[in-house]
Amino acid sequence: MSAIGDALKALRAAILLEERITSQSRKVEQLALNVVEMDKRLAALEGRMEGFLAAASAFGTRTGRPAKVIEAPPRDRPGVPSQKT
């Protein structure tokens, strides 16, 4: 009886493993579809951005904005009266 019980347990484990593999396979397929969809959306956004940049450059060259705006103290700003106490 022990050998038959062990064989049944092994068959049950094999069936459960097969079900898990099938389930994981479906999940991987769904993830692959999601990645393809996100890739399409990203490509569309990149295309739009390239279009916007091309349109912006068509209006002429302008100096680029500084990476960080540093505000000068009032005494160094032209046209702004300094506050003396």
Q: pLDDT tier at 54 (50, 70, 90 boundaries)? A: confident
Is 81 a residue whose pLDDT tops 70? no
Which tens digits make up the pLDDT trace of 7-22? Answer: 999 999 999 999 999 9
AA letter at 77: R
What is the model's pTM? 0.51
Q: Where are the domains of the chain?
A: 2-58
- Looking at per-residue pLDDT, the higher value among 28 and 67 belongs to 28
Token couple for 83:
């506050």
Q: Are 75 and 82 in contact (CB under 8 A)?
A: yes
